[in-house]
Structure 1
Amino acid sequence: MNLFEKRPIKLQLLVVFVMFLLVTVLVMALTFNQSKKMLYEKNREYSAELLDKVTQYIQSQLDNIDSVVKNTIYNPEIHLYLQTEDVLEKMDFFRKVDSHVALVTQVQNGINSMTVIGDNGSNFNYMSDPYKRQAVMKTIDEISQMNNSQSKLYYAGFRTIVANGSEQNFFMLGAEIRNVVPVKHLGYMVAILDLDALFPQFDTMLENGFGNFYVLDRNGIVSAGNDSAMLGKRLDLTEWNSDGRYVVQSADVPEIQGKVVNIYSKYDLQRGLEKVWKTYLWIFALVVPFMLFVLWVINRNLIDPIRTFMRFIQIRQVKNIYYHQMRLQMTGYYEITVMADKFNEMLDEIGNLTNEVVASKTRIMSLGLMKKQAELAYLKQQVNPHFLYNMLESFKGMASETGATDLLDHITALGRMLRYSIKGHEEVTFEQELDIAKSYIQLQLFRFDDRFEARIDVEESILSCRVIKMILQPILENAITHGLENRIDKGHLHLEGRMKPDGDIVIRVRDDGVGMSEEKLASIRMDLAAGDEFLERDRNKEHLGIVNVHNRLRTMYGDEYGLGIKSAPGLGTEVSIHIPGQRGVPHV
């Protein structure tokens, strides 16, 4: 990697360009292969759905026809017509049969005509057309040769009948007519069905399909489909199954003892892949010229100016030309021209920069000395907190043994505050911070002999929110020592916490102490606005506590959060703390 970084930029750009092309080709190849698999499976599933759709449509049509035909073969008037021998009664029943059949053929779409032939010589609509009559008799012969003890409907299959000098295709349906009680064979019923009504319009239904669909009757004859050339011919499925280039899917239609077959080539399963391939080619054809154009622009506007800059530096090193005798001139990207201008300005300001560097080093040394002095002063004033905590524990034990319960409570509160300040995470829950604030208020009440009253009103919803610790104690300390301590009569301290509609939290510490003048309030607000510069501009560190809290809040949560102060002489002071309402486990 280091060896590559030391190569010329132009060579690196060329390598990056080649790698980009290789990655692009690889990604396109992988996505193309994935698209191929997805299209294959999608088209296969779509073909199976179409096959199921066609099968359901045919079965629906057959169910409608079955109900009508069964109603006919069990019609009592037809039974009486086939059994009666009286001529007048036969004529009367004939009219009723004619009315029933006419109603059936008109109401039920798909039934072209219907013939009833009885064993007693009675018949209805025994067609005069010899071709239709031949088809009817052939169907009756096939029914009579079957052991049809339950009078099931018999779909004879596809028939071509010559009518009015032209061939027409129909589907034959027959059934045996039997009397129920007593069981007795009465005759036969044969219906000629229209193919268009029985089978779907494949051209419409398969508008987005592929391959050929065939509906086969019990004899394997193509009765319907989108391949009109195969209509009326036998379909040999073994021929298609033997060819690995085609896929054969079929679904049985038990009512006609036939099946619906879908035959398509495996190439059809990749339909739509050519569009993906053309899209990839277009992408490649656009990306490569674009990348070459980008390389040319980078070379013209970046690499060439850099070479000019390098030559300029070499000339200065060799000829030792003074800065006022030559200027660097480069064209290219905006940054290149800015770099040339700045470099020329640098040549003009070399002398001034030397003086500024010396002054800066002097200032840094002075600040370092001040920091060391501040650290030394802090160390002189610091007492080991662990030693203090251990001593408080000893005092706590002594108070417990002597029965000084009040003193024990105060020592416990002080120890809790000390342990809280030196141990644990920087971030705590607001409930933990509030507990320490309560301990601090307890100690101050003890110290001032209950010269003020404290009231705490905090919404329960904010107790689980995360805050940085030790933000309440400095505010409470200022309120008590600067506000309530100088009050003659009894004062009041109010700690309030609320959650705003936007989810942020506002905590207010309010006292009715002596308040502040406008000048002092303005000074504190200036200290808060000074931020990190506060330590330099305020040597006395009078407002160190609240400024420290303000800066910690802004550093942790952002400039929109922190402290706000309102005060007036004689009316007290209110300090508001604005923080985000963050929930969850406190960070370490």
Structure 2
Amino acid sequence: MEGRGVSVPENKRYQSLLVALPVISYNIVKLHGGDRVDFLKKRPIKLQLLLMFFLFLTAIVLVMFVTYTQSKKMIYAKNEQYSIELMDKITQYIESQIDTIDGLLLNTGINADVHQYLKTTDLLDKIDAFQKVDMQVTRVIQLENGIVDMTIVGENGNNLNLMSDLNKKRLIMDTIAKMRDTNGTHLKPYYYGFRRIVESNVAHHYFAVGTTINNIFPIYPLGHMVVILDLETLFPKFDTMMQNSFGNFYVLDRNGIVCSSSVPEMIGNKLDLEAFANSRDDKFIVQSAELREMEGKIVNIYSKDDLFRGLDQTREVYLWILAFFVPLMCLAVWIISSNIIGPIRAFMRFIQVHQIKNIYHEQKRLKLFGYHEIMVMADKFNGMLDEIDHLTNEVVSSKTRIMALGLMKKQAELAYLKQQVNPHFLYNMLESLKGMASETGAHEIREMLGALGRMLRYSIKGREDVKLREELEIAKAYLKLQQFRFDDRFDVHIDFPDELLQAKVIKMILQPILENAITHGLEDRMVKGNLLFAGKLSPEGDIEILIKDDGLGMSQAKLEAIRAELASGDEFLDRIKNSEHLGVVNVHSRLRSVYGEPYGLTIQSAEGAGTEVVLRLPYKEG
């Protein structure tokens, strides 16, 4: 499909203008940066309102312009689409008629009687073949509407329906001459084109189509067949197809002659497309589609003035809107600026006359009358003055409380230092008892005192985070003490891979869980029990430590109560007031406080089946 004389802008050009407008406005409003002066913030309000009015007016004009141009493009696109669809329908109709005519010519051209007639030289055979061919041609003319004449001209001089009408005969011979120049021995029909013939002082419009009749084997031309058609056989009636279309449609033959048109007086004339395409000011839009079989064209020509005539009214409406809108907006800006600037100037005079130190002493109040916002601002300002004394008192009270808290902090530090004396004293005593047990030969007591001393020294170490190897050694010392205490009433199974032992953890997270397992699970067991103590690296890369016993376990209600304590969002001290499992709650709170969610511990238990506790904490290289 072709189009000429089109001058409608692209969408992106105007979209970029719409995008650029708020960017320009933003850059004007926010022009500060570094040492540059803020352009808008320090300007008078009246100037700001005028600038905003100018930007708003510019936006409206731009929107009107873009709307107008987009409407223009939309009208053109809609008409172009409909024109293309209509030309497609016309093309399909003409091609379907051409297919019918091609089939008719092909069937007649390969007819055996026709071939016999064009080959024979014997007079009797020629008469017999002529009668058969004449009956065949007469039947075709009668059955097919729109066929005016069908003529066969043989190379051997045998002819059929080579009429005496000189105009028709000239049309037939011209068609055969063109076929000989172009087609040769091809079977493809040749659409010669339009011809006006006057019969009995009446002009008739015909369309000539010819084909070469070839011998089947070997291939050589036997003659030619020419069919003269009425124009309505090939071309549609435009008066029924042009109800919603725009402009004029023309169907041209290979010579550029109008064969059918929405303008009947143009039929038979040559259409000068260059005159429309090169018209002054590009006033016409030309679209065309090729008719390949007949080597013609379908052309749609329409005027831009006619196409966009309705937009002239839209442009006039836009101008009237601007003519009414600009003075109205100027009046609105003047009224708004007066209502805003008057109270603000009174507010500024109040602030300039009464300095802050004078406000403290005299407690003057601001009284303004105007629009709602300025009165609310005055009330808030007066409220701020009322709050000054209160805030002053609060500042004095806060400073007093801060000094009291500082004193309490010093007292707490002193108490902490005093408490450090007792663990050191106990550790020194344990070391003395250990030496005495060694001298008296009480080796088991010596080992127990050594384990107890290691635990005490570990608990008072300054660092909060340790390697898992150190935490595991203290846990083993604690288990050794408990096995000694309970005379080996349970077995301990420890399984920790070496790659976990270098991980960094917070200290004293294993001993409370082990103590809980022994005290509540294994201590009251009548037979020997087992305690599994193992660690591994989870698929997510976290450390998982399992402490599992086969002791008494607990009921479902008690298990749910412990889980509720672990899931509680209250402070630690509030959660442990009535807790029987202080160690579990303590360890979970410390893990959650240091590492956050989802770290902590989970607990599973069943009555008579033991308890399983899993500690989860992140792997951090020591």
Same fold (TM over 0.5): yes
Matches within 5 A, 1:481-520: 483-484=516-517, 486=519, 488=523, 490-491=530-531
The residue that corresponds to 1:357 in the other structure is: 395
Query: Matched residue of 1:214: which SS?
Result: strand
Tell whether the 8 Å contact from 2:214 to 2:221 is kept in structure 1 after alignment: yes
The residue that corresponds to 2:265 in the other structure is: 229
Residue 199 (1) aligns with residue 238 (2):
no
Residue 74 (1) aligns with residue 136 (2):
no
Tell whether the 8 Å contact from 1:117 to 1:188 is kept in structure 2 after alignment: yes
The residue that corresponds to 2:454 in the other structure is: none
Matches within 5 A, 1:288-367: 306-307=344-345, 309-310=347-348, 313=351, 328=367, 332-333=371-372, 339-367=377-405
Q: In structure 1, what is the Cα distance between the partners aligned to 2:265 and 2:137?
A: 40
Q: In structure 2, what is the Cα distance between the partners aligned to 1:15 and 1:532?
A: 63
Residue 19 (1) aligns with residue 51 (2):
no
The residue that corresponds to 1:150 in the other structure is: 185
Q: In structure 2, what is the Cα distance between the partners aligned to 1:27 and 1:509?
A: 71
Query: Matched residue of 1:12: which SS?
Result: helix
Choose which of 273, 276, 279 in structure 2 pairs with 1:243.
279
| Shift in CA distance, 187/569, structure 1 to aligned 2, threshold 3 Å | closer
Query: Matched residue of 1:150: which SS?
Result: coil
- State the Cα distance separating 1:171 from its structure 2 match: 1.6
Query: Matched residue of 2:124: which SS?
Result: coil
How many residue pairs match? The answer is 489
Instruction: Please provide the CA RMSD for this pair.
Output: 6.4
Matches within 5 A, 1:59-138: 59=95, 61-80=97-116, 85=124, 90-91=130-131, 94-103=134-143, 105=144, 111-117=146-152, 123=160, 133=165, 135-138=167-170
Residue 7 (1) aligns with residue 43 (2):
yes
| Shift in CA distance, 179/327, structure 1 to aligned 2, threshold 3 Å | closer
Matches within 5 A, 1:330-409: 332-333=371-372, 339-367=377-405
The residue that corresponds to 2:422 in the other structure is: none
Query: Matched residue of 1:85: which SS?
Result: helix
Tell whether the 8 Å contact from 2:471 to 2:507 is kept in structure 1 after alignment: no
Q: Which runs of 5+ in 1 are unaligned?
A: 382-413, 423-435, 457-468, 500-504, 535-540, 580-585
The residue that corresponds to 1:529 in the other structure is: 570
Tell whether the 8 Å contact from 2:465 to 2:507 is kept in structure 1 after alignment: no
Query: Matched residue of 1:235: which SS?
Result: coil
Moved more, 273-282 or 240-249: 273-282
Tell whether the 8 Å contact from 2:287 to 2:299 is kept in structure 1 after alignment: yes
**1:150 counterpart letter in structure 2:** T
Tell whether the 8 Å contact from 2:592 to 2:599 is kept in structure 1 after alignment: yes
Query: Which entry has the higher C-alpha Rg, 1 or 2?
Result: 2
The residue that corresponds to 1:480 in the other structure is: 513
- State the Cα distance separating 1:157 from its structure 2 match: 1.7
Tell whether the 8 Å contact from 1:175 to 1:189 is kept in structure 2 after alignment: yes
Query: Matched residue of 1:19: which SS?
Result: helix
| Shift in CA distance, 484/203, structure 1 to aligned 2, threshold 3 Å | farther
| Shift in CA distance, 316/48, structure 1 to aligned 2, threshold 3 Å | same
| Shift in CA distance, 568/95, structure 1 to aligned 2, threshold 3 Å | closer
Tell whether the 8 Å contact from 1:563 to 1:576 is kept in structure 2 after alignment: yes
Tell whether the 8 Å contact from 1:563 to 1:577 is kept in structure 2 after alignment: yes
**1:85 counterpart letter in structure 2:** L
| Shift in CA distance, 114/300, structure 1 to aligned 2, threshold 3 Å | same
Residue 217 (1) aligns with residue 256 (2):
no
CA offsets 1:502-522 (integer angstroms, 9 cap, x no match): xxx9x9988669999999988
**1:138 counterpart letter in structure 2:** R
Tell whether the 8 Å contact from 2:258 to 2:267 is kept in structure 1 after alignment: yes
The residue that corresponds to 1:256 in the other structure is: 294
- State the Cα distance separating 1:140 from its structure 2 match: 1.8
- State the Cα distance separating 1:226 from its structure 2 match: 3.4
Q: In structure 1, what is the Cα distance between the partners aligned to 2:560 and 2:60?
A: 69
**1:98 counterpart letter in structure 2:** T
Q: In structure 2, what is the Cα distance between the partners aligned to 1:482 and 1:282?
A: 91
- State the Cα distance separating 1:359 from its structure 2 match: 0.7
| Shift in CA distance, 181/213, structure 1 to aligned 2, threshold 3 Å | same
**1:355 counterpart letter in structure 2:** N
The residue that corresponds to 1:172 in the other structure is: 208
Q: In structure 2, what is the Cα distance between the partners aligned to 1:185 and 1:270?
A: 56
- State the Cα distance separating 1:143 from its structure 2 match: 3.5
CA offsets 1:499-549 (integer angstroms, 9 cap, x no match): 9xxxxx9x99886699999999888777x4349999xxxxxx997864465
- State the Cα distance separating 1:234 from its structure 2 match: 1.6
**2:400 counterpart letter in structure 1:** T
Tell whether the 8 Å contact from 1:139 to 1:174 is kept in structure 2 after alignment: no
Query: Matched residue of 1:16: which SS?
Result: helix
- State the Cα distance separating 1:188 from its structure 2 match: 4.9
Moved more, 169-178 or 293-302: 293-302
Q: In structure 1, what is the Cα distance between the partners aligned to 2:317 and 2:538?
A: 59
Tell whether the 8 Å contact from 1:566 to 1:574 is kept in structure 2 after alignment: yes
Q: In structure 2, what is the Cα distance between the partners aligned to 1:155 and 1:373?
A: 116
Tell whether the 8 Å contact from 2:148 to 2:230 is kept in structure 1 after alignment: no
Choose which of 161, 167, 172 in structure 2 pairs with 1:140.
172
- State the Cα distance separating 1:142 from its structure 2 match: 1.0
| Shift in CA distance, 291/260, structure 1 to aligned 2, threshold 3 Å | same
Tell whether the 8 Å contact from 2:208 to 2:229 is kept in structure 1 after alignment: yes
| Shift in CA distance, 217/8, structure 1 to aligned 2, threshold 3 Å | closer
TM-score (norm 2): 0.55
- State the Cα distance separating 1:358 from its structure 2 match: 0.7
Tell whether the 8 Å contact from 2:152 to 2:160 is kept in structure 1 after alignment: yes
CA offsets 1:475-508 (integer angstroms, 9 cap, x no match): 9548635633645454457999999xxxxx9x99
Query: Matched residue of 2:52: which SS?
Result: helix
**2:258 counterpart letter in structure 1:** V
Q: In structure 2, what is the Cα distance between the partners aligned to 1:198 and 1:281?
A: 51
Tell whether the 8 Å contact from 1:112 to 1:192 is kept in structure 2 after alignment: yes
CA offsets 1:9-62 (integer angstroms, 9 cap, x no match): 443333333234445656776787799789889988997887677667645543
Q: In structure 2, what is the Cα distance between the partners aligned to 1:179 and 1:156?
A: 23
Q: In structure 2, what is the Cα distance between the partners aligned to 1:442 and 1:47?
A: 88
Choose which of 179, 182, 195 in structure 2 pairs with 1:159.
195
| Shift in CA distance, 47/525, structure 1 to aligned 2, threshold 3 Å | closer
Tell whether the 8 Å contact from 1:551 to 1:562 is kept in structure 2 after alignment: no
Q: In structure 2, what is the Cα distance between the partners aligned to 1:444 and 1:271?
A: 96
The residue that corresponds to 2:225 in the other structure is: 189
**2:124 counterpart letter in structure 1:** E
CA offsets 1:342-375 (integer angstroms, 9 cap, x no match): 4444444544333222112223444566678889
